[in-house]
Amino acid sequence: MSDQIKHECGIAFIRLLKPLSFYQEKYGTALYGLNKLYLLMEKQHNRGQDGAGIATIKLDMKPGSRYISRYRSMAQNAVADIFGYVQGKFVDIQNETPELMKDTEFLKQNVSFIGEVLLGHLRYGTHGKNSIENCHPFLRQNNWMTRNLVIAGNFNMTNVDELLEQLYELGQHPKEKADTVTVLEKIGHFLDDENQELFDEYKKEGLSNVDITHKISEKLNIANILRRSAKDWDGGYTISGIVGNGDAFVLRDPSGIRPAFYYADDEIVVAASERPAIQTAFNVQIKQVKEIEPGHALIVKKDGTVTQEMYREPAEKRACSFERIYFSRGSDADIYKERKKLGHLLIPQVLGAVKKDLKNTVFSFIPNTAEVSFYGMVEGLHEHVREVQKDTLLNRKEQLNDEQLNELLSMTPRVEKLAIKDVKLRTFITQDADRGEMVAHVYDTTYGVIKNHTDTLVAVDDSIVRGTTLKQSIIKIIDRLHPKKIIIVSSAPQIRYPDCYGIDMSKMGQFVAFDAAIQLLKERGMEHVIEDVYQKCKASLLLPKEQIVNYVKEIYRPFKQQEISDKIAEIITPKGTVAEVEVIYQTLDNLHIACPNHTGDWYFSGNYPTPGGNKVVNKAFVNWKEGNNQRAY
């Protein structure tokens, strides 16, 4: 993607179902769980580079022994920093008494992070402050083992104000207004409730406090706690948690917006945000890795019992399509096919734009995430060539001379790597003029493959959000090759609306498609539409979120998609560009053909899967109109 956007976040959960000695004997190391957690996190490095954290819990530790360990980092390579810190715990043992590295009971009793339940998190700071306090996992501590709670997740809630108000009504006083705090405290509150109810029940039966503690640990109803906690959550989320006794869960939102996968056998239970991470770390086949169902929680009890239980009625599944287009690693078998299909489906539009003149057209892509879509487009081009050859040979072969026949048989798409990501902007460049000059050179190009003022250059991008990198760098660079025309092809549809479920796209003014629509309204004397939408959005914010509709759709309604695309092309064309610039976008229909199981398309269509989404988009428009540069949730 030419415009980098951030995504929140990635989880890695592991529960060892056997004693630590089992892994020492079978795999030759007591650090089996930690090694696998490291692999899971590194294989999801794409999901967060602003920070990371891990937490582990040891089962059945004696009172007075430390059983919860947590470490978080904001280092440049946070995952490596964390596991370097953990490794440091074993250096003296390895050097001085190496035989103890095989003594799992000694390690468990004396070294932190050696536990049976492990949780890791990778963070992209989409909105929150970038500080160590904002890094997951979060910890809610208590002297009662079954009241301790660790959580980490990939989530955004649209109704934080409402959830905070509920916490106030419960008598709590959260330390900050953030969805991580509200989620932690909401689950924590009902965890406390469950503990108290069980305590009262067993106290009536005459059990001692020590016996009651063991009974609570055994009977704690995690599914019931989650049902009560998540009843009013509005957002996209995959959240993993561990109770101090070792009970653990991974829950997924009712619309299945955020991804969650798991694998379980008789040795281990593992969950992660991406399927290939599990496949690689544990060497398992794709069919062995399952999705956690929307509205369900994967629950692993302290005794090792594994269930998947419904905690909220599932809604229509609206899994995030941007995961498929951009965020998730393309090593997933299905995602790879879907990205190729996105490129392939653009062939009719592209061939129309170049008037089927393959002889004078060069095809390329904008590095690096658009590469797979580009492969799909190239396959489609080869199919087109074969059809042309087949049709000509069947219907016109008698009319071809040797030269024409040779030209027909040698017909092939001209495919080149023209855009090369070259440098990163250095922080010591502080003046705007210098910074702009540096940004213009983030990409470089390959010279000598374009016929001056003759060739059309088609460059595939996986999506266009702001268009700033295209304008400041890519188009300037490739215009130096002197093409007749530059066509930027987006494998995703026009991004028109903010996301509120975990992607860093929360402000209307960020979107070049919105800018294009506003400019068109003004040019055509339709400013009243802007004012009407503003008044409707403003009034709607006084309604319950369930009654709100997305009025921002009216900004785009007067225009065909091509009109907005043409205006976008005008906006992203730098001054002094000689080549003609055109922009082609994927259609919504083709997106759904390519990604049939991931129909969450609200950033393109404005059709939000939860009521809070409509409130967010209207609030975002109000903020834009009033010049209020802040997120809408």
Order of all β-strands in the sheet with 248-252? 138-140, 149-157, 235-243, 248-252, 296-300, 306-310
What pLDDT digit, counting tens, does each position of 387-433 carry?
999 999 998 878 888 888 888 888 899 998 876 665 554 444 444 44
Distance CA 369, CA 383 (A): 23
Which of 517, 519, 527 is CA-nearest to residue 497?
517
Residue 151 CB: number of other CB atoms within 10 A? 24
Is residue 511 within 8 A of residue 495, CB to CB? The reply is: yes
- Measuring CA to CA, how many Å separate 571 from each of 402, 465, 467, 501? 47, 13, 8, 28
Place of tokens 């903010």: 498
- Measuring CA to CA, how many Å separate 241 from each of 55, 101, 301? 10, 29, 12
Place of tokens 């549809």: 493
What pLDDT digit, counting tens, does each position of 561-617 carry?
999 999 999 999 999 999 999 999 999 999 999 999 999 999 999 999 999 999 999
Distance CA 27, CA 30 (A): 8
Kindly tell me the sign of the dihedral angle through the C-alpha atoms of 53, 46, 235, 630.
positive
Q: For the whole model, what pTM was predicted? A: 0.90
- Under the banding of pLDDT at 50, 70 and 90, the label for residue 441 is low
Q: What is the DSSP letter of 54?
A: E
- Under the banding of pLDDT at 50, 70 and 90, the label for residue 130 is low
Kindly tell me the sign of the dihedral angle through the C-alpha atoms of 142, 147, 152, 153.
negative
% of the chain beyond a pLDDT of 90: 75
Burial class (CB in 10 A: 0-12, 13-18, 19+), 372: buried
Place of tokens 């000689």: 578
- Under the banding of pLDDT at 50, 70 and 90, the label for residue 128 is very low
DSSP for 154-208 reads EEEES-HHHHHHHHHHTT---SS--HHHHHHHHHHHHHHHHHHHHHHHHHHTT--
What pLDDT digit, counting tens, does each position of 352-367 carry?
999 999 999 999 999 8
HEC string for 517-566: HHHHHHHCCCHHHHHHHHHHHHHHCCCCHHHCCCCCHHHHCCCCHHHHHH
| Out of 114-118, 146-150, 442-446, least confident range | 442-446
- C-alpha dihedral, 167 to 173 to 178 to 180, nearest 10°: -70
Residues near 334 by beta carbon (within 8 Å), at least 6 away in sequence: none
